[in-house]
Amino acid sequence: MKAFVVDTYGKDGARAAEVSEPTVGDRDVLVRVSAASVNPLDKMVRNGEFKQLLKYRRPFVLGHDLAGVVTRVGSAVHGFDVGDEVYARPRDLRIGGFAEFIAIDMDDVAPKPASLTLGEAAAVPLVALAAWQILVDRAHVRPGQKVLVHAGAGGLGSTVIQLAKHLGATVATTTSTDTEKLVRSLGADVVVDYTKEDFSNVLSGYDLVLDSLGGANLEKSLTVLKPGGLAISVVGPPDAGFAKQLGAPSFMGVVMNALSRKVRKRAKALGVRYQFFFMQADGSQLRELGSLYDSGQLHPVLDRTFPFDQTLDAMAYVEQGRTRAGKVVVSMAPEND
């Protein structure tokens, strides 16, 4: 089958290749991929940014979320049948959405939301799971709390805005002039145009900040939190919790804490908290999120769709910052569903 694999870590490490169809284990669902989406995480894994913690055996197929049709099920699989339309974010070390077929543990798969096309559904799993795990599992967002979401027009930001509003929060976001209307339509109560003003000069008293930019943006984010508030970053620096989540040796936790010492020290001085976030596969959460898409509480935001054979072009498009809003999808065939 055709796939896009990582041979060597680095910017030019991914290529198109012919690889064997995946082996289907007892607990696996074999899915014929209809569409997959591109995430910043694809670039990070391709570049080897997590190679000390995520020990992929090269060559491996890239791609962190997808939608498609079940073509085979393992002997221990229940709840899925051949012909079912599904979507998934496969667990780490078993990714591979940029391929014609993928075998996925049944615990990571969920029925595709009925209201979404396969292309739309492919854009959902990673960002929707991240939004849920940040807002519900980590931050325990409650009605009336204040949440700041950076880069609100992006794939993650646009999803977090919607879910935070569903949870009853007051939501602020940063964006550019040309996407202000979009983020307001998603539910943002306060919009800061980063091309015109500094968010840290106009916002204060927030319970949660979600940072997807890092660096100076993260450090300034700490200053808009109320005492005890929480800043969560999806780009780092990592902390010991990340190493523990991946089951790494204890010394890696020490290393991760060293990398985040500066920002954690700054957060402590301000009376706030900092955590790094790395999402986890979870089919049961995808089922719950699917109901929110079908009820109209959430909807995907798509920027552009590329044909599957242009997957590397799609990755470059995202990596070069050309995305205007939402997710970039690669599709096996034109949408006809």
Residue 314 lies in a domain: yes
Are both 107 and 150 inside the same structural domain?
A: no
Listing from the earlier edge strand, what are the strands of the sheet with 60-61? 14-18, 2-6, 60-61
Confidence grade of residue 53 (pLDDT, cut at 50, 70, 90): confident
Are both 269 and 214 inside the same structural domain?
A: yes
Asked whether the beta carbons of 18 and 6 are under 8 A apart, the reply is no
Scan for tokens 């790094």, then name that residue: 276
Helix boundaries (H) for the chain: 40-46, 118-122, 125-132, 155-166, 180-186, 199-202, 215-222, 240-245, 250-259, 261-270, 283-294, 311-319
Q: How many domains does the chain have?
A: 2
Are both 119 and 137 inside the same structural domain?
A: no
Are both 144 and 112 inside the same structural domain?
A: no
Are both 134 and 272 inside the same structural domain?
A: yes
Confidence grade of residue 334 (pLDDT, cut at 50, 70, 90): low
Candidates 307, 311, 304; CA nearest to 328 is: 304
C-alpha–C-alpha distance, residues 322 and 176, integer Å: 13
pLDDT average, residue stretch 227-238:
95
Scan for tokens 């006809």, then name that residue: 336
Question: 179-200, pLDDT tens digit by residue?
Answer: 999 999 999 999 999 999 999 9
Are both 313 and 255 inside the same structural domain?
A: no
C-alpha–C-alpha distance, residues 104 and 108, integer Å: 7
C-alpha–C-alpha distance, residues 247 and 256, integer Å: 13
Are both 269 and 194 inside the same structural domain?
A: yes
In the chain, the amino acid numbered 225 is: L
Confidence grade of residue 335 (pLDDT, cut at 50, 70, 90): very low
Confidence grade of residue 224 (pLDDT, cut at 50, 70, 90): very high
